[in-house]
Every structure is written in structure tokens, then in C-alpha cells.
Amino acid sequence: MCSILLLVTFYQRATGQEHPPRPISLQVVPAEGLRFGAFVVITGGTITIDPGGGRSVGIGLIGVNLGYAYGPATFRIKGNAGTLVTIQDILPSTITFGGFTMGVSFNTPISTVSSLGSPFILQNNGWIDLKIGGTLTVGNSAANPPGPYSGTFNVTFIQQ
């Protein structure tokens, strides 16, 4: 009799996180691009934008305020509450102007440059903002003359 009671006592049903409704729907809308602002090139260096909007300008560059804003890329995300979203590490990219290029890189793991970390769980069915920072590598003034450099980078969102 004692062994039967022990079996009944230790039997419990295990439960986990509730699954989101199926099919999983995730909408991502780019709201604002990654912006490094204006700067003066002395010998070259790096500029880093963090997800909170701060800018760090390395030795060899001088950050200036000429009316050009700087800040992280912003993506508006909407999906079902309970959806687990993972951001795949972002590959390095380039920005260009008149045949000149500068490299843009993103720290890995991506959770270090994402305002929500990675992975994260959507808490409600409304829109949320995800901000992603990056680092620009600038050459000397002959390699990277002044101009409006632009480019793109790809972000992959995995939903579960």
C-alpha cells in the first residue's frame, strides 16, 4: 500500500510556456535607419552607435553637430503575444558614396546591440520598437572623402 501511495504522490503533470496562436504572424516594419551623424576624419577610426542612442567616436575622428542626427536603426514589430523571436547575427555590410566605401559591423552575439536582446518574447499583440546599433569603420580622408554615404543591411527574425 505504501508503494502505491508514493507513485500517486510523485505523479504530477508538467507544463511549459503557453504556445502562441497558430499560425504565428510577425510583422516587421523598418521605421528609421542606422545613422552615424557628421564627423571629421583625422586619420580614420570607428564610430559606434548603441541601441540606446549613444554615440562613441574613436581616436582619429571628431564627432561634430552639423544638424545630422545619429541613432540606432528602429524596427516596429507586431505579433501574437507569447511568440518567441530570435534575431540572427547580422552580417557586416558597407555604405558607399561615389565609389568609396566604409564598413559597418554589428557585435555578436546580436543581443549586445539589440534593445530587446535576443531572443525575446512578445508580451502583447501591440507594436513594439526594436533598436539595433552598429559600428562604422572609417578610413583616412583620401579613402573616405566627405559625402552622403548610404547602404543597407539585412536583419533576419526567427519566430517560434
What percent of the chain lies above the pLDDT cut of 70?
85
Q: Residue 134, by phi and psi: left (phi above 0), alpha (psi -120 to 50) or beta? A: beta
Burial of 29 (0-12, 13-18, 19+ CB in 10 A): exposed
Which has the higher per-residue pLDDT, 3 or 86? 86
Residue 4, domain member (yes or no)? no
pLDDT in tens, 99-112: 999 999 998 777 77
Look at residue 67 in the predicted model and tell me its pLDDT: 83
Look at residue 1 in the predicted model and tell me its pLDDT: 42
CATH number where 105 lies: 2.60.40
Which has the higher per-residue pLDDT, 22 or 61? 61
**Reported pTM:** 0.81
pLDDT in tens, 35-93: 999 999 999 999 999 999 999 999 999 999 888 899 999 999 998 888 889 998 889 99
Residue 72, domain member (yes or no)? yes
Cα–chain-centroid distance for residue 53? 12
Look at residue 8 in the predicted model and tell me its pLDDT: 40
Residue 153, domain member (yes or no)? yes
Pull the grid cell for residue 86: 530570435
Pull the grid cell for residue 13: 503533470
Question: How many structural domains does the chain have?
Answer: 1
Q: Shortest CA distance to 154 belongs to which of 28, 24, 26, 27?
A: 28
- Residues spanned by the domain of 93: 24-159
